[in-house]
Amino acid sequence: MALFLIFGISGCSHKSTSHKTPTTKPSGSKTPATMRPYTINGKTYYPEHVSVGDTQKGIASWYGPNFHGKKTSNGERYDMHAMTAAHKTFPMNTMVKVTNTNTGENAVVRINDRGPFVSGRIIDLSKTAAQKLSVYANGTAPVKLEVVGFSGEMIAKNSPKATVIGGNFMVQIGAFRNANGANSYKSEFDNTSGYRTIVKEFELDGEPIFRVFLSGFKSEDEARDFAQGGPFSGAFIVRE
């Protein structure tokens, strides 16, 4: 009989999404300013290394008049008429193709700000970008993001500039004494929110235990957000 265990540890209104100035953690390293961790409302975010072709799915929102002309997180003045967007962890000036999965419409934006700091939302579009993607009227829409370049430049996937080291984080969603139970659970929850399940065997108290993980997270922050706000009670993140 399978013994199922869950190990638990703690692991934008569309026009009024919080865009507070990030507090950058002091660092003695030569890490570029736009890749340093920053803190908003007591939570620390870790900008990630991404590669051309990396994708992410979630909810897009937009921000406009209340922020027009104010400084963005990379020091530019926000222009709600430009094709830009805010993302919590993508490097500044990353070029991202955004596709509205309801309509199929797509457009390329440049990341120049941080946000949206609202659970479940992955990108905050400028007003013009939101209009082009049919996000403006409803305020939010499901989208797919694809990294297509850096520093304002579109880059081919086979270019040497397109490959960087990404984060390797997983979220444990369950553990079983019986391999069959673990594999059944793996099949049931595979592709949850676009993440894939894997099973790894460990030893606990001298006996095998089969742990089920969701994989495919691009940063510690992305994994932590899912563990804390996802559908699995007691889920927690681990580094591969």
Domain positions in the chain are: 37-162, 167-239
Please provide the average confidence, as pLDDT, over all residues in the chain: 82
Tell me the whole-structure pTM to 2 decimals: 0.59
Contacts of 127 (CB under 8 A, 6+ apart): 62, 63, 64, 65, 80, 81, 136
Tell me the mean pLDDT in the region 227-236. 87
Higher-pLDDT residue of 7, 208: 208
Cis peptide leading into residue 116 (ω within 30°): yes
Share of the chain above pLDDT 70, in %: 79
Confidence (pLDDT) at 166: 43
Three-state DSSP string of the chain: CCCEECCCCCCCCCCCCCCCCCEECCCCCCCCHHHCCEEECCEEECCCCCCCCCEEEEEEEECCCCCCCCECCCCCECCCCCCEEECCCCCCCCEEEEEECCCCCEEEEEEEECCCCCCCEEEEECHHHHHHCCCCCCCCEEEEEEEEEECCEECCCCCHHHCCCCCCEEEEEEEECCHHHHHHHHHHHCCECCEEEEEEEEEECCEEEEEEEEEEECCHHHHHHHHHHCCCCCCEEEEC
Length of the chain: 240
In our burial notation (b when 16+ CB lie closer than 10 A, e otherwise), range 90-103 reads bbbbbbbbbbbeee
79-83, 106-110, 156-160, 183-187: the lowest-pLDDT one: 156-160
Confidence (pLDDT) at 36: 66
Both tokens of 228, joined, read 């804390």
Class of the CATH domain delimited by 167-239: alpha beta
Which CATH architecture best describes the domain 37-162?
Beta Barrel (2.40)
Confidence (pLDDT) at 74: 83
Is 44 a residue whose pLDDT tops 50? yes
Tell me the mean pLDDT in the region 102-126. 95
Share of the chain above pLDDT 90, in %: 50
Distance in angstroms (rounded) separating the CA atoms of residues 83 and 126: 6
Is 135 a residue whose pLDDT tops 50? yes
Question: Each residue of 2-38: pLDDT tens digit?
Answer: 333 433 322 233 443 555 545 444 333 334 445 667 8
